[in-house]
Amino acid sequence: MTVNNTATDTQPPTVPALSSAIAKAANQVDIAWSSSSDNVAVTGYQVVRNGAPVASVAGSARSYTDRAVNANTTYYYSVRAFDAAGNYSGLSNSAQVTTPAVTSSGTCPSPTSGAFTGCYYNNASLTGNPTLVRTDQQINFDWGVATPASSITSRDFSVRWQGYFNFEAATYTFNLMASDGIRLYVDGDLVLDRWRDQPAYMYAVRRSISAGAHLISVEYYEHTGLSTAHLSWQKN
């Protein structure tokens, strides 16, 4: 007679740690977390928004994109791990994020502080009134063949982002990637001009900046291929 003395798995995974929650757009929040461990294996992670589960992803996942959110709304996110036996870890730490507001049509408003005022045009020349105006926390977009919003065309659109940001006195490297054209201005001075059709290409430019608030402006257009636009900077 064979005796099965394998104990039932009752040990839950360790609690994961939520590392970021970023409102990429009025209708998109990206969250990321660190991995959990388990005595057998972590099967997946459950994403919790405002106290209710909204999705489950594989155990190999470390991020999730939530596109079922509304503009100008505050959300609270956490995650928990689970194993094949149905044991759930405790909830991770909670992260709060507020999606930007969306304003349809009208003129391009003044730049905001600590974020970008994004004015989106249904042409590649930044002309006329913008079709969409919204606040973008950062310029970090990979739209591919999609569009920034349902009101924006999938080809031949352009964006002007402007925002005031506080800097320490130092030399900074500005890193950009774009397909197609992109321009970077610091306090109205043209720092980078690559206004042309091109596949996704990365640029790095250095600029000495004094202490205080400075206006960072980016102009971008999409015409061919997959659309992408990125900007970041770091102190040297």
Which of 127, 108, 111, 110 has the alpha carbon at shortest distance from 119?
108
Please give the full DSSP string across 27-65, using - where no structure is assigned.
TEEEEEEPPP--SS-EEEEEEEETTEEEEEEETT--EEE
Backbone angles phi, psi at 5, to 5 degrees: -110, 20
Which of 43, 99, 55 has the alpha carbon at shortest distance from 79?
55
Per-residue pLDDT averaged across 176-199, rounded?
Answer: 95
Residue 86 has pLDDT above 70, yes or no: yes
- Quick check: 71 and 136 in contact, CB under 8 A? no
Structure-token match 């770091």, residue found:
234
Specify the higher pLDDT residue, 184 or 26.
184
Domains and CATH numbers, the chain: 18-98 (2.60.40.10), 102-235 (2.60.120.260)
pLDDT tens sequence across 36-74: 999 999 999 999 999 999 999 999 999 999 988 877 789
Q: What is the pTM of this model?
A: 0.61
Strand pairing class (112-113; 74-83) = unpaired
Strand ranges (E), the chain? 18-25, 28-33, 42-49, 52-58, 63-66, 74-83, 95-98, 102-104, 112-113, 116-121, 132-136, 140-144, 157-167, 170-179, 181-186, 189-194, 201-209, 212-222, 227-235
Can you name the residues that pair with 58 across neighbouring β-strands?
44
Report the SS3 class of residue 72: coil
pLDDT category of residue 100 using cuts at 50, 70 and 90: confident
Average pLDDT, whole number, for the chain?
A: 90
C-alpha 203/C-alpha 205 separation (Å) is 7
pLDDT tens sequence across 107-158: 788 888 889 999 999 999 999 889 999 999 999 999 999 999 889 988 899 9
